[in-house]
């Protein structure tokens, strides 16, 4: 079993909790209230901007030009996905841009920025991997079950699509290559980072589902 396959095994309970979450279920059936989706998309616009910064941080710190180029391309795609997908929904629902990060978005973006800045590139890569991989798996899961006339169709098509699939495959190969060169201690740090970011994916959906705001 390669390193990333082990990572996926480690997060099985978290991934199951994500698939069984009301947000994912209602996105699939199209019954998710539009106010909930609006909260999600506003927070996700803030998320993807910082996610792109985190990828640029890895690009700047990568040891080779090839790895740098790869991270730069992911960083650029994150902004393009943000623009494409979000502008569709911002216009459709007449959503105002939000400037305040709610708790899960705040925790997740700060975690990614700190990890990609202060830990090794390998650990930083493991931290950004769930964003790629979980979305691909959730996207495909929803795609298989979703009815055609679903208001969230373009979200589903983006993450279940071929372009996204290719990026995820590239990111998995990169992570496996970093793991091969990493010491056992660093591999443990990679596993911890992957698990933490996976948990934060669950929290991100849960905050949207409950439309969670700062309590104080």
Ligand X SMILES: Cc1ncc(CO)c(N)n1
Binding site for ligand X (CB under 6 A): 44, 47-48, 131, 135, 201, 204
User: In the window 79-98, what residues touch ligand TZE (CB under 6 A)?
Assistant: 81
Q: Are 190 and 122 in contact (CB under 8 A)?
A: yes
- The residue within the footprint of ligand TZE, chosen from 47, 71, 74, 209 (CB under 6 A), is 74
Report H helices in 119-161: 121-145, 153-160
Does 167 bind ligand TZE (CB under 6 A)? Our answer is yes
Picked from ligand X, ligand TZE, none, the partner binding residue 50 (CB below 5 to 8 A depending on kind) is none
Q: Of the listed pieces 3-11, 61-69, 70-78, 88-96, which binds ligand TZE according to CB under 6 A?
A: 70-78
Does 120 bind ligand TZE (CB under 6 A)? Our answer is no
Residue 94 burial (C-beta neighbours within 10 Å; 0-12, 13-18, 19+):
exposed
- Residue 136 CA to residue 133 CA, distance in Å, equals 5
In the DSSP assignment, the letter for residue 64 is S
CA 101 to centroid of chain Cα atoms: 16
Written as six digits, the tokens of 165 are: 């699939």
Picked from ligand X, ligand TZE, none, the partner binding residue 77 (CB below 5 to 8 A depending on kind) is ligand TZE
Least gap, CB of 78 to ligand TZE (angstroms): 4
C-beta closer to ligand X: residue 48 or 59: 48
Q: Of the listed pieces 13-21, 71-79, 145-153, 187-195, which binds ligand TZE according to CB under 6 A?
A: 71-79
Residue 128 burial (C-beta neighbours within 10 Å; 0-12, 13-18, 19+):
buried
What is the number of other CB atoms lying within 10 angstroms of the CB of residue 54? 25
Least gap, CB of 14 to ligand X (angstroms): 13
Does 132 bind ligand TZE (CB under 6 A)? Our answer is yes
Q: Are 159 and 138 in contact (CB under 8 A)?
A: yes
> What residue ranges bind ligand TZE (CB under 6 A)?
74, 77-78, 81, 131-132, 167
């Amino acid at each position: 079993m390669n390193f990333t396959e082990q990572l996926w095994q480690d997060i099985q309970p978290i991934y199951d909790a994500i698939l069984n979450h009301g947000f994912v279920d209602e996105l699939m059936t199209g019954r998710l209230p539009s106010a909930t989706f609006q909260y999600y998309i506003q927070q996700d616009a803030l998320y993807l901007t910082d996610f792109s910064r985190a990828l640029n941080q890895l690009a700047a710190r990568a040891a080779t030009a090839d790895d740098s180029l790869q991270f730069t391309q992911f960083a650029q795609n994150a902004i393009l996905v943000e623009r494409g997908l979000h502008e569709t929904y911002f216009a459709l629902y007449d959503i105002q841009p939000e400037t305040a990060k709610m708790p899960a978005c705040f925790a997740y973006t700060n975690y990614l920025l700190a990890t990609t800045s202060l830990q090794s590139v390998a650990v930083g890569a493991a931290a950004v991997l769930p964003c790629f991989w979980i979305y691909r798996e959730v996207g495909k899961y929803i795609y298989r079950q979703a009815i055609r006339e679903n208001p969230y169709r373009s979200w589903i098509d983006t993450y279940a699509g071929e372009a996204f699939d290719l990026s995820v495959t590239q990111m998995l190969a990169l992570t496996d290559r970093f793991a091969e060169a990493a010491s056992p201690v660093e591999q443990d740090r990679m596993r911890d980072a992957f698990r933490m970011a996976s948990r934060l994916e669950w929290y991100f959906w849960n905050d949207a589902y409950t439309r969670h705001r700062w309590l104080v």
